[in-house]
Each structure stands twice: as C-alpha cells, then as structure tokens.
Amino acid sequence: MPNVLSNLENKVLTITINRPDKLNALNQATLHELSTIIDQAKNDQDTAAIIITGSGEKAFVAGADISELATTDVMTGMKFSSYGQSVFNHIENCGKPVIAAVNGFALGGGCELAMACHLRIASENAQFGQPEIKLGVIPGFGGTQRLTRLVGKGKSMEMNLLGDMVPAEKAEQIGLVNSVVPQDQLLATVNKIAQKLANSAPIALSMTIDAINKGLECSLPDALDYEVKAFGICCASDDKNEGTSAFLEKRKAVFKGK
C-alpha cells in the first residue's frame, strides 16, 4: 500500500497522506512519494487545482516519523531537514493552487505541510502546533519561517517556544487557517473551493501565487515591479481576452490556460 494516494476528478487532484496507523507521520519514503505526485501534477494539463489531506479522521499529518528522527545526527538531520524543505517549497511554488484540508492533528511536519499550501481549511476538531521543542529540536521543514510570515513574530515565537497545540478556532483567529468547518463538511467544502479554482484562469492563478511568494522575499519596490511584469504576462494571454470578452458579453468565461 502506498504512503500517498492520489485521485484526479474534474481537474482537481486529491492527494491523501495514507499512514493512518502512524497518524500519517512523514518519513523519507512518504516525502518522496508526495514530491513525485506534485511534480507530475505540476506538468499535467488535466490538473488545475490540488487538495492535500490525511487518511482517517484523527490526523492530517501528526508530524515527522519520530523513529527516523531518533537516529539522526548533524549531517543526517540537516539532510532530512533540507529534503523536507525542498518538497514543501515544491508544493508552494508548483504554480497551481494547493488547498490543505486539515482533518485532525496538524503537528510539526503536518503544520509545516499545511503552511506550504496556499489555502488551509480546517475541520472543527483540527489541532495545530510546532511541538518540536519538546523533542529537543526545532522545526526543520519551514516552521520557524512560514509560521512567522502567516501569524507574525509574537505568535510564532509562542507556538515554537512553548510547543502547545492550537485548536482550529484559535488558528483561524490568528490567521493560520482561512476557515473552519464541521468535520463532516470538510471535504465537500474544500472540493467546492477547489472546483472554483479549477474553473479560473490558470495563467492568472499561477501569476498570482508567484507574485505573492516572490513579493515576500524582496523589497516593496521590487515586489511591485514584479507585479507589473506578471500583470503584463496575463494581458498577453488568450485567457485575458476570453475573460474580458465574457464580462462584456455577460456570459461565463471558459479559460484554457493559453
């Protein structure tokens, strides 16, 4: 049985971390399978939006596999951290919108995986946290950086230094998740959002994600200049012509990603 399952339907690819007996904890093999699927989806014209979730109702991803972490030293630890970061960077910059459907525990690597996604929808029973401090380490898959960018320095310090779990409602209040829904409505809600994204203009979606991600890495003037260039690229697309024509003709636009 693979550690990661995938299913494509109506241009929406659903990726499920499938280690329920380990609360979907991430090990090297799982990260590799996830990376391979994301790489394939990035280049698949039939995939317009991506959902990432966890198997079962208890956990999205409850962290890294502690049995692997326990055997690391300086070099193997750095290698594991670097690989995990590269996989999550790949998700964040794959050019297609990725939604985390957080069902249950999103701890350590699970919280970091959710933060690498572009949108996060949580069930009411979800719990978030970076508890690595309790194991004598720090987050290694981007937790000290993405969390700070999402919730600010103060809350990031609190979550990373104390390692306590944050319930879904509070996670929404601090900006860690976009919305919270009843557990039995999670996948239906996320699929509805994903389908809306799948019907949007692919080039504009990709340019929006790229502009936001790149803008966080540079000064405001450079970020605004990048936005100008991205806007120009969109203006040269068939999708822009279709979108503006559809608006003026009072009909629904049909985008083709050209």
The verdict on 228 and 129 lying in the same domain is no
The verdict on 145 and 224 lying in the same domain is no
pLDDT at 89: 96
Name which of 99, 101, 89, 103 is nearest 23 in CA terms.
103
The verdict on 141 and 222 lying in the same domain is no
Q: CA–CA separation, 135 vs 39, rounded Å?
A: 32
The verdict on 172 and 77 lying in the same domain is yes
The verdict on 112 and 218 lying in the same domain is no
The verdict on 70 and 151 lying in the same domain is yes
Range 132-153 average pLDDT: 95
| Cross-strand pairs, 26 | 64
User: Which domain range does residue 87 map to?
Assistant: 4-198
If pLDDT is split at 50, 70 and 90, which confidence band does 63 have?
confident
Secondary structure class of 210 (helix, strand, coil): helix
Whether 242 is catalytic is: no
Name which of 113, 100, 176, 112 is nearest 144 in CA terms.
112
- Of the chain, the end-to-end C-alpha distance in Å amounts to 38
Counting residues of the chain whose pLDDT is more than 90, the rounded percentage is: 85
pLDDT tens digits for range 91-118 = 999 999 999 999 999 999 999 999 999 9
Q: Is the dihedral of CA 213, 65, 105, 171 positive or negative?
A: negative
Catalytic residue, from 9, 33, 112, 158: name it: 112
The answer to whether residue 253 is domain-embedded is no
Catalytic residue, from 33, 92, 132, 249: name it: 132
Range 188-197 average pLDDT: 97
* Count of structural domains, the chain: 2
The answer to whether residue 257 is domain-embedded is no
Q: Which of 160, 177, 198 is the last residue of a domain?
A: 198
The verdict on 230 and 108 lying in the same domain is no
Q: What is the number of other CB atoms lying within 10 angstroms of the CB of residue 2?
A: 12
The verdict on 122 and 59 lying in the same domain is yes
Residues 146 and 204: beta-carbon distance below 8 Å: no
Q: CA–CA separation, 72 vs 103, rounded Å?
A: 29
Whether 227 is catalytic is: no
The answer to whether residue 258 is domain-embedded is no
If pLDDT is split at 50, 70 and 90, which confidence band does 70 have?
confident
The answer to whether residue 144 is domain-embedded is yes
Please give the model's pTM, rounded to 2 decimal places: 0.93
